[in-house]
Structure 1
Amino acid sequence: MRIFLLVLPAALSVAACNPTPGPYANGPYTGPGPGPRTTYSYDSIEYGRIVSVQPVTMRRTSDGDQIVGAVTGGLVGAVIGHQFGSGTGKDVMTGAGAIAGTIIGSNVASQGGTYTSYAWTVRLDNGGSITVIQMSNQFRVGDRVSVVRSGNQVYLR
């Protein structure tokens, strides 16, 4: 029995080295080829030099947060409003509380917080200038940049 316990790990190690056929054992791969290359589309690119930068404070907004705030505020307002009045008055107070809570909850949720971004002013090679607000602070005044316009977005690269 002792010899069996000594030989078993060695036998399992040797068995693990035995190559097993993989998915390509029957010849070359004949499945679908590689996917299409990722291409980046843009409407236009202009070139220029950064002439100034100013930090700007941006406010976060999220429709999802505003909806959650409105629903939560409406429920809390309805519960509080239901505590007042009796009969039809109780129903009116519940409705009024729900409406007030919805408005308050939506406004509180829309505040969401702030973050810092940067307003980059670029003097274009064609003599014009443009200011682009972008979070990235990888540029410096004097840097040459590309101003990329893609749909309704403009960004520096």
Structure 2
Amino acid sequence: MQLPPRTEVAMLRALISLSLALLLAACETPPTAGNPAGEAVVRFGQITSIEAVTIEANQRLGLGAVAGAVVGGLLGNQIGGGTGRDIATVAGAVAGGFAGQQVQNRYAGQPGQRITLQMDTGEMVSITQPADANLRVGDRVRIDGAGEEARVRR
């Protein structure tokens, strides 16, 4: 069944809007104490050591790269026709994926800290995060979040 041209355009616009929303969601800053949104894991402990590090890029292909590739591909598909459209679609997908990955790795190359903590549960935890000059060895702190999103706060 052939759809009327206006229906195809409307569907394409809806798909682009959804893709842009996904890309923006991938760029969102994780919730923090000053920006509460939803449920978060909170743990408590004491800092046993702080080591200065440079934050490395996250080399895994993440949601930022995927969403960027989708949006770039859709936008590239709007250019030209035939082989030119195919080339623009591929170029848009590659450029969008690269841009999305860069946004996802926004802390790469910045000064950071590898903080080792003795948790109240007795376990030892190490968290690497952007540098926070207010943290000192011996401080009793809270850890917001878990995994790559974990952050040490006073």
TM-score normalized by the length of structure 1: 0.45
Larger Rg: 1
TM-score normalized by the length of structure 2: 0.46
